[in-house]
Structure 1
Amino acid sequence: MAWRSHGRTNADLVRNLETSENRIFTSPRVREAMLAVDRGDFTKIDPYQDSPQGIGCRATISAPHMHAAALEALSETIGNAVKSGQECRVLDVGSGSGYLTACLAVMAGPTSKVVGIEHIGQLVNDSLANLKKHHSDMLASGRLQIIEGDGRVGYPQLAPYDAIHVGAASPQMPTDLISQLKIGGRMVVPVGVAEQRFLQVDRINETDIATKTLMDVIYVPLTDKAAQMCR
């Protein structure tokens, strides 16, 4: 099962996610990103266990297999943007610990613009502290930003995006985020309430999208700041 991919070190974890019977990812771009970003910088409790971990403020860092699956789903789109020579733009909604935002920034390369948006100020501060341990260069260059705000409406200031990751379950298809996808761009997002599906959403043209169910999942809800703090 996917949650048996844990390891003793970050390298162990990444190797098991790639080479075990689960084969969570196959892209070399994903491997390089996950090796470059040590999960141990982003959670103090069992960082290499393949399970979600609490990070405070009723938030979690997703299990490594979910992060690997999200990176795998976005790797082709990000790779195409990088190969085109254009500035790759990526949005991470509900950026939490900052871990996946950092992985996305590594994948997207040094000329990219990657934004993590998180509505809990404490988590924003914590994620910046996490990133400064080994990735302060990405913050200093502006290649990676962490913004405090309502991720449900995205971050239109840098739209359109080549890739969007949503780290909490939207009760329905998030139309505001879809509108911020570039034509040819891709989003991965958990959708649903009692039953949730992890969806891949591709923008075909100005009016059409294509959706694909990647797996059934259980995520915390994508909600407002007050509701999260009161749960």
Structure 2
Amino acid sequence: MKDTFTHQGMRKKLVETLKKKGIVDKNVLQAIGKIPRHLFMDSGFVDHAYVDKAFPIAADQTISQPYTVARQTELLEVKKGDKILEIGTGSGYQAAVLLEMGATLFTIERQNELFKKTKLFLPKLGYKPKRLIFGDGYIGLEKEAPFDGIIVTAGAPFVPNPLLAQLKIGGKLVIPVGENVQIMTVFKRKSDTEFEKEEYGEFRFVPLLEDKN
């Protein structure tokens, strides 16, 4: 598992690309500049690791485009020590970004193959979520709620009510909502019953899968 000067140089270029595309959060850019994305990908795609594109990983899933990871993380407004729930661990790349930024991370994956792989892989890079759970993201993680932030890394056909319910007052849910094309949507909890909703344009994600295992 090598991280060469060449890889580091490619990451610097990626950070510059993300800045040009409008990412301004210094902590997000710093995390993306530090994490060896090529190690999260199958060896056949390593040359493409620092291109701003999504790529296939195991179990018919993808590692998200770096811009998408950066934008979702920026919208979440993560502060050090924040308790964050991630729905869709996938390759673990988004999890690594959140952990690099100092989040206390709980993350759920429902593809068993990916869950097993990522559970072993993340600690090898020094990234240790508080909990990595094999389960159904639609129901969240009630016993660890409330959360400062919840991030959904797959396209949700609707907004799962349990995720809204598990936010702290002042907390944010960042979720791509839609069937074929998703609208990046942010819900901020204002009170027990009140949420503020904002939309941030179109993105494309693999679908959020219900628990069929």
TM-score by length of 2: 0.87
Deviations 1:80-127 (A, max 9, x none): xx4xxxx521011011011111111221x2xx5201100112101221
Compute the RMSD of aligned alpha carbons: 1.9
Query: Is 1:124 the equivalent of 2:115?
Result: yes
1:52-63 matches, within 5 Å, as: 52-63=54-65
State the alpha-carbon separation in 1 of the partners of residues 33 and 181 from structure 2. 32
Distance in 2 between residues matched to 1:183 and 1:161, nearest whole Å:
9
Partners of 2:147 and 2:13 lie apart in 1 by 32
CA distance in 2, matches of 1:223, 1:27: 30
Query: Retained in 2: the 8 A contact 1:171–1:191?
Result: yes
1:32 aligned residue: 30
Alignment CA distance shift 1:11-1:125 (3 Å): farther
Equivalence for 2:88 = 94
Q: Give the structure 2 partner of residue 182 of structure 1.
A: 168
* Contact 1:102 1:144 (8 Å CA) reproduced: no
Residues 23-68 of structure 1: per-residue CA shift (max 9 Å, x gap): 2x10111122212322112113121121111111111111111001
1:3 alignment counterpart: none
The CA distance in 1 between the partners of 2:16 and 2:132, in whole Å, is: 29
In 2, the alpha carbon distance for the partners of 1:121 and 1:195 equals: 26
Question: For 1:56, what is the secondary structure of its paired residue?
Answer: coil
Shift of the alpha carbon at 1:132? 3.0
Identity %: 31
- The answer to whether the Cα contact below 8 Å between 2:145 and 2:167 also exists between their aligned partners in 1 is yes
How high is the TM-score relative to the length of structure 1? 0.81
Rounded to whole Å, the distance in 1 between the matches of 2:67 and 2:135 is 27
Q: Please give the alpha-carbon distance, in whole angstroms, between the structure 2 residues aligned to 1:100 and 1:196.
A: 18
Q: Partner amino acid for 1:13?
A: L
Match of residue 70 from structure 1: 72
Aligned residues: 202
Report if the CA contact (8 A) 1:187-1:202 is conserved. yes
| Counterpart contact for 1:39–1:48, Cα < 8 Å | yes
CA–CA distance in structure 2, aligned partners of residues 126 and 11 of structure 1: 28
Query: What is the rounded CA distance, in whole Å, between the counterparts of 1:144 and 1:9 in structure 2?
Result: 30
Measured after TM superposition, the shift of residue 225 of structure 1 is 4.3
Q: Which runs of 5+ in 2 are unaligned?
A: 1-7
Indicate if the aligned counterparts of 2:110 and 2:209 stay in contact, CA closer than 8 A: no
The residue type equivalent to 2:143 in the other structure is: Q
Q: Give distance in 2, aligned partners of 1:35 and 1:133.
A: 19
> Is the alpha carbon distance of 1:31 and 1:191 closer, same or farther for their aligned partners in structure 2, counting shifts above 3 Å?
same
